Amino acid sequence: MIKVNIYRNKNNNIYGFKLSGHAGYSEEGSDIVCSAVTILVFNTVNCIEEFTEEPFSCDIDEKNGGFIDYCLPNIKKGEENKDVDLLLRAMVKGLTDIEFEYGSYISINDEEVF
């Protein structure tokens, strides 16, 4: 199962997320749940990097896959960036839609963490 933790600051803005695990919907290479989650997450990370100047930290397990820990430290402290907020909310919407259809393979925990 893919486990997603969404992190929000005291203003309810998303400042990061951690994703771990594998969906297990199908065999590697044909797992549509894993593919959909991967595309949403990496597209979001890449868009934030390319289209904004927001600093971030990103830890990825490139050897084994199935792990990413992403944080936007300025937003964590309470700063706002409307472009980043829109991109992250769109990612969470997509992940939530996947969870609705494939809840046995992905679990999302959306929490306030300071």
Residue 81 CA to residue 103 CA, distance in Å, equals 31
Question: 18 pairs with which residues across the strands?
Answer: 5, 69
Question: pLDDT-based confidence at 111, cuts 50/70/90?
Answer: confident
Residue 14 domain boundaries:
2-108
Which CATH number does the domain housing residue 64 bear?
3.30.70.1490
Does 93 fall in a domain?
Answer: yes
CB 37 within 8 A of CB 23: yes
Tell me which amino acid residue 13 is. N
Does 114 fall in a domain?
Answer: no
- How many domains is the chain partitioned into structurally? 1
Give the pLDDT of residue 114: 62
pLDDT digits (tens, 9 = 90+) for 72-103: 999 999 999 999 999 999 999 999 999 999 99
Does 113 fall in a domain?
Answer: no
pLDDT digits (tens, 9 = 90+) for 13-42: 999 999 999 999 999 889 999 999 999 999
CB 77 within 8 A of CB 69: no
Chain centroid to Cα 106, Å, comes to 12
Question: How many other CB atoms are there within 10 angstroms of residue 12's CB atom?
Answer: 9
Does 32 fall in a domain?
Answer: yes
